[in-house]
Amino acid sequence: MILEKKRLFDAYAAKQGLRSTRQRDVILDIFLSTHEHLSVEELYLKVKASHPGIGQATVYRTLKLFVDAGLAREMTLPGGQTRYEHQLAGEHHDHLICTRCNRIVEFEDATIERLQHEIAQRHGFRLTGHKMQLCGICPACSAAEIQ
Ligand SMILES: [Zn+2]
Ligand SMILES: [Zn+2]
């Protein structure tokens, strides 16, 4: 999957006439090496740990390129913060988000997916995509509340 994402980006970069840069390769490798849902700041800190010469603005611009290339997905948390994860067009999952600590849990549910298609169909829509976020309090935050 990682190789496929790299190839997808290379093809996109070539089509856009972007010259390959060492910095972009580094950012792509680090981004693909994690399965977290990262903010720009978090990815920047990971990059900075091994490559202190790469600035936050470069990380931000590069992430936007990954989104445009179709290998990253941008998501907005209930509080307004933006996070990024790598995902190809065919891959899909939804998210449960803790509104206290921003913890994100991924899930996939065939019944929900099917229902969404049925609802779209009922309204005459051909479904091309959806964003599903369930917001709530995660077990750890619930436990902390009781104490
Ligand atoms: Zn929480
Ligand atoms: Zn996710």
pLDDT at 33: 93
Q: Average pLDDT of 69-81?
A: 91
Looking at the chain, the number of H-run helices and the number of E-run strands are 6, 5
- pTM of the entire structure? 0.84
Q: In this structure, which topology does domain 1-88 adopt according to CATH?
A: Arc Repressor Mutant, subunit A (1.10.10)
Compute φ and ψ for 76, nearest 5 degrees: -105, 125
Domain residue limits, the chain = 1-88, 92-147
Centroid of ligand 2 to alpha carbon of 95 (angstroms): 6
Instruction: Give me the CATH topology for the region 92-147.
Output: Dna Ligase; domain 1 (3.30.1490)
Task: List, for residues 93-144, the tens digit of each pLDDT value.
Answer: 999 999 999 999 999 999 999 999 999 999 999 988 888 999 999 999 999 9
How many angstroms is it from 74 CA to the middle of ligand 1?
A: 21
Query: What residues flank ion ligand 2 with Cβ within 5 A?
Result: 85, 106
Using the mean position of ligand 1's atoms as its centre, give its distance from the Cα of residue 17 in Å.
43
d(CA 17, CA 13): 6
Residue 134 in tokens: 């369930």
What is the reported pLDDT for 146?
77
Ligand 2 centroid, distance to 49 Cα (angstroms): 24
Cα angle at 142 between 138 and 143, to 5 degrees? Answer: 120
pLDDT of residue 124: 97
**pLDDT at position 89 over 80:** no
Distance 9 CA to ligand 2 centre (A): 19
15-59 residue pLDDT tens: 999 888 899 999 999 999 998 999 999 999 999 999 999 999 999
**String of DSSP letters for 77-141:** -TTS-EEEEE--TT---EEEEETTT--EEEE--HHHHHHHHHHHHHTT--------EEEE--HHH
Residue 63 per-residue DSSP state: H
